[in-house]
Amino acid sequence: MICLGIESTAHTFGVGIVDERGRVLVNERATFTTESGGIRPYKAFEHHVLFAEFVLKNALQNSGVKLSDIDLIAFAQGPGLGLTLRSGAVMARTLSKLLKKQLIGVNHCIAHVEIGKQTSGFKDPITLYVSGANTQILAFAAGRYRVFGETLDTGVGNFLDNFGRLLGLGFPAGPKIDELAKLGKNYIPLNYTIKGMDFSFSGILTNAEKKIKDEREKNNGKISDTFLHDICYSVQETVFAILTEATERAIAHVNKKEILLTGGVAANSRLQVMLASMAKDRGVKFKVVPRELAGDNGAMIAYAGILAHKAKVTQSKQSLAAPRRFAALETKDTAIIQDWRTDQVNAVWVK
Ligand code: ATP
Ligand code: FE2
């Protein structure tokens, strides 16, 4: 069985093709970026509309898979930005109708987890899922991926992007902060906000903003290289220590033996080192999703589609549990679900 997966929850329009054994045959994408400033939903939507056909064509050409070889169409049904989600949903519905193949809507967050399980070989991990809009500590219990801890405001990726914007780093800023932080030497104290198993980043952002303002006042409106390196270093040390602490607490509570790091921010070198060292101390295994599958991509959607399909999940059954705000405007069962939570999905394929 071959599944074509479409990703369009935010900045990336991706098409991936995966076979029944979970092998990625191709993983093409086009990502909306900016030189400065953040992501504007309408701009990202325009980008996706412009690139959708090109990405699909590349996926087919580079894999040698023909449209007629495809058995299943999966698409990211939520959570995400309404406009961008729709760009992928429209392509998915069209392909499904034209090819007369079944359509399956996938929860994007769960796709990040499942692709991490597939590549790591982990069966029952505690997952730290860190991306732009989401930051959750997840573990499977009683039929669903339960949230053991999560951000109370923005995802850590969006936090890093917003922090980067204060320094004019453009979007996405995460990878640039990762590099600049390596040159930092002096820790600038910042708030450390962890509340039980949950955490929040907006206070840290305000805190960092104030430090940047002070630096500009001292330095004729400019930011010195030393300060730039030190503030990136300090921000990373603070927020990644928070995430590591919450993950450590979760693993102590649930007594699992594996820690999986997945989502776009999983590519961060410092976060990987911190978690690896905590896992070593606790005597548990630790693995990170490969970089090419860390950020948003179509292959993870296709893979999650295959898992659901094999477990006999059908579109009309699974989306009943979730709220559908715009259902009347779209094909009923395939309406996008902007706020579809990880723990609303019955993960019947997990054994
Ligand atoms: P979500 O899964 O919440 O819908 P998303 O759609 O925004 O997230 P992902 O591609 O999973 O997207 O993650 C993108 C985020 O990852 C961006 O915020 C980006 O800055 C961040 N990121 C990418 N590489 C790194 C890195 N090396 N260090 C830190 N952050 C990074
Ligand atoms: Fe994502």
pLDDT tens digits in sequence order for the chain, 351 residues long = 999 999 999 999 999 999 999 999 999 999 998 887 667 899 999 999 999 999 999 999 999 999 999 999 999 999 999 999 999 999 999 999 999 999 999 999 999 999 999 999 999 999 999 999 999 999 999 999 999 999 999 999 999 999 999 999 988 999 999 999 999 999 999 999 999 999 999 999 999 999 999 999 999 999 999 999 999 999 999 999 999 999 999 999 888 999 999 999 999 999 999 999 999 999 999 999 999 999 999 999 999 999 999 998 877 655 545 555 544 445 568 889 999 999 999 999 998
Q: Say which DSSP state 188 is in.
A: P
For the chain, what is the domain count? Answer: 2
Structural domain includes residue 188: yes
Question: Looking at the CA of 176, which ligand is closest?
Answer: 1
Structural domain includes residue 350: no
Does 7 share its domain with 46? yes
Q: Which atom of ligand 1 is nearest to the CA of 129?
A: 2
Q: How far is CA 219 from CA 36, 145, 183, 188, 232, in A?
A: 22, 49, 20, 17, 18
Does 136 share its domain with 81? no
Does 104 share its domain with 160? no
Structural domain includes residue 349: no
Name residue 129's beta-bridge partners.
136, 262
Look up the domain containing 87 and give its range. 2-112+296-344
Does 308 share its domain with 182? no
Which of 256, 278, 293 is where one domain is finished?
A: 293
Does 141 share its domain with 177? yes
Its pTM surpasses 0.85: yes
Question: Looking at the CA of 171, which ligand is closest?
Answer: 1
Does 58 share its domain with 153? no
Does 302 share its domain with 283? no
Does 243 share its domain with 321? no
Distance (Å) from CA 131 to ligand 2 centroid? 6
Does 42 share its domain with 86? yes
114 within 8 A of 37, measured Cβ to Cβ? no
Distance (Å) from CA 3 to ligand 2 centroid? 19
Distance (Å) from CA 97 to ligand 1 centroid? 32
Residues 6+ apart with CB under 8 A from 277: none
Does 177 share its domain with 97? no
Task: Answer positive or negative: Cα dihedral of 183, 186, 189, 194.
Answer: positive
Does 308 share its domain with 171? no
284 within 8 A of 248, measured Cβ to Cβ? no
